[in-house]
């Protein structure tokens, strides 16, 4: 029997009445049977590079860009919901559907771009782990091999349920950024005002910072991971409403955490006149004069946990996409003998990421610029594909996008795609 909300409910109603009466609503507990994919995928987007971006936004622009998080949150919920709905209704991952509907060549092109971009980001996550550990005086030559081994052991030797539980537990470290923001003692009335009242600056740097925020928050690997996770979890149509709730809760939480990172750096770095930083670790060090050593360590713990979570999710998303695209066996419950390609890709990415991050003087910023450019090229194609697939009645039946939702989804796709392409142009110009 698959572990779904429906089966959870069946087990629940078999309990004695005196026990059932102690629970106000079994659907609250059924939610926890579905809980996972949406929260994990959204929080994995707050990775080391994301934290660096949010810190840069807070340092450079103070609170003035907080309003961007509201439309960004809605857009991510819409995109994630389409992927979750496709996974539940079709029982197939995103790469599976792309291969069936658009052919092998198109799938190979998209997956190759995803592989290259994700490899670069995985390396940056290991660098983030190194930077976080060095904030506590622990050398990277100890931390990187240890964390790589732990993540590999968890995924290769663990069950789907256990892996999901550990990933969810990792998400709790993000509360460190909430505490850091309060330690920074921001002007909360100003924060509230900037959140609900958009303020526009028409200079080039400001506009491209908005694009960078969107590109950091809505990334291709998240869509691949959330759909494959829903499929592997065995959710069915009766679980769809709870799966949607998981997406909404996860995305809202992730965007709130990102906003708190901006608030904490705006209240400290921006107020000190530090408008430029080169990494999340630099931001953590810079918090000390205003918010104290505890804020630095909380920021460091958040960076470490975020990088650990992304270091697990990114290789998994890549392994899912390549295995689905090529039609190979996949799944967290599979052994190396049952799914050698899936686990082999995961293992190889962990080894590459760890080894490269151990090299001295890794140009993290340049690496992120290159991967951001690849993701920026890939994102419009992937968003168009997601809207087309989720609107296809032959695939989705009565659960295909209805007219209003379709218009809204296409609007988001066009706006995000244009911003992404503009960001690519700016990135390429800056590189030369």
User: What CATH class is the domain 5-9+46-431?
Assistant: mainly alpha
Cβ–Cβ under 8 Å, residues 122 and 314: yes
3-state secondary structure of 339: coil
Residue 186, both tokens: 């921001």
Q: Which residues contact 107 (CB under 8 A, 6 or more apart)?
A: 95, 98, 99, 325
Kindly give the interhelix angle for 293-326 and 94-102, rounded to the nearest 10 degrees.
40
Is residue 173 within a helix (H) or strand (E), and if so which, with residue range?
A: none
Query: Tokens 């340092």 appear where?
Result: 59
Of 194, 224, 166, 237, which Cα lies nearest the Cα of 70?
A: 194
Structure tokens at 352: 């590459």
| pLDDT tens track, the chain, 432 positions | 444 445 544 444 444 544 444 444 444 444 444 556 777 777 777 777 788 788 888 888 889 999 989 988 999 999 999 999 999 999 988 888 988 888 888 888 788 878 887 888 888 888 888 888 888 888 888 999 999 999 999 888 877 777 777 887 888 888 888 888 888 888 899 999 988 888 777 676 777 777 777 777 788 888 888 888 888 887 888 888 888 888 898 899 889 999 998 998 888 888 877 777 766 677 777 677 666 777 778 878 888 888 888 888 888 888 888 888 888 888 777 888 888 898 999 999 999 988 988 887 766 556 665 666 677 677 888 889 999 999 999 999 999 999 999 999 999 889 888 877 776 676 667 666
Q: How do the domains of the chain map onto residue ranges?
A: 5-9+46-431
According to the model, what pLDDT value does residue 286 have?
A: 67
Contact (Cβ atoms closer than 8 angstroms) between residue 302 and residue 51: yes
Contact 43, 250 (CB under 8 A): yes
Q: What is the pTM of this model?
A: 0.82
- As a whole number of angstroms, the distance between CA 347 and CA 97 comes to 25
| 131 contact partners, CB below 8 Å, separation of at least 6 | 48, 279, 280, 281, 303
**Rounded Cα–Cα distance for residues 39 and 313 (Å):** 12
Residue 23 has a pLDDT of 44
- Residue 364: its pLDDT value, please? 59
DSSP assignment of 38-83: HHHHHHHTS-HHHHHHHHHHHHHHTTTTGGGHHHHHHHHHHHHHHH
Between vectors from CA 393 to CA 80 and to CA 381, what angle results, nearest 5°?
A: 45
> Is 250:163 a contact under the CB 8 Å cutoff?
no
């Amino acid at each position: 029997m698959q572990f779904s909300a429906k089966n959870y409910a069946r087990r629940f109603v078999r309990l004695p009445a005196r026990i059932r009466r102690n629970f106000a609503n079994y659907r609250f507990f059924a939610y926890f049977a579905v809980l996972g994919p949406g929260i994990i995928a959204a929080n994995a987007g707050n990775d080391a590079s994301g934290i660096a971006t949010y810190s840069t936004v807070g340092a450079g622009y103070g609170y003035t860009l907080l309003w961007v998080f509201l439309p960004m949150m809605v857009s991510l919920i819409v995109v994630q919901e389409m992927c979750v709905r496709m996974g539940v209704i079709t029982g197939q991952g995103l790469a599976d559907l792309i291969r069936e509907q658009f052919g092998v060549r198109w799938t190979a092109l998209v997956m190759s771009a995803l592989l290259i971009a994700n490899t670069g980001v995985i390396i940056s996550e290991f660098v983030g782990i190194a930077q976080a550990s060095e904030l506590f005086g622990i050398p990277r030559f100890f931390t990187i091999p240890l964390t790589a081994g732990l993540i590999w052991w968890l995924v290769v030797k663990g069950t789907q349920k256990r892996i999901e539980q550990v990933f969810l537990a990792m998400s709790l470290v993000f509360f460190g950024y909430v505490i850091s923001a309060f330690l920074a003692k921001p002007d909360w009335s100003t924060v509230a005002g900037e959140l609900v009242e958009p303020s526009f600056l028409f200079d080039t740097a400001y506009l491209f910072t908005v694009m960078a925020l969107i590109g950091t928050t809505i990334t291709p690997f998240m869509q691949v991971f959330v759909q494959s996770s829903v499929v592997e979890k065995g959710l069915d149509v009766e679980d769809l409403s709870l799966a949607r709730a998981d997406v909404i809760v996860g995305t809202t939480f992730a965007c709130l955490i990102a906003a708190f990172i901006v608030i904490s750096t705006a209240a400290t770095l921006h107020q000190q006149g530090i408008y430029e930083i080169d990494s999340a670790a630099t931001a953590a060090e810079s918090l000390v004069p205003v918010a104290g050593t505890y804020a630095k360590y909380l920021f460091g713990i958040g960076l470490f946990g975020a990088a650990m979570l992304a270091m697990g999710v990114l290789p998994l998303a890549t392994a899912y996409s390549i295995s689905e695209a090529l039609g190979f066996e996949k799944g967290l419950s599979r052994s190396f003998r049952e799914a050698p390609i899936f686990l082999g890709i995961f293992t190889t990415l962990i080894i590459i990421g760890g080894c490269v991050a151990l090299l001295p003087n890794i140009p993290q910023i340049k690496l992120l610029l290159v991967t951001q450019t690849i993701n920026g090229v890939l994102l419009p194609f992937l968003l168009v594909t997601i809207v087309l697939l989720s609107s296809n009645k032959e695939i989705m039946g009565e659960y295909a996008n209805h007219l209003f939702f379709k218009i809204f989804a296409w609007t988001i796709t066009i706006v995000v795609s244009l911003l992404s392409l503009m960001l690519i142009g700016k990135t390429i110009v800056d590189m030369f």
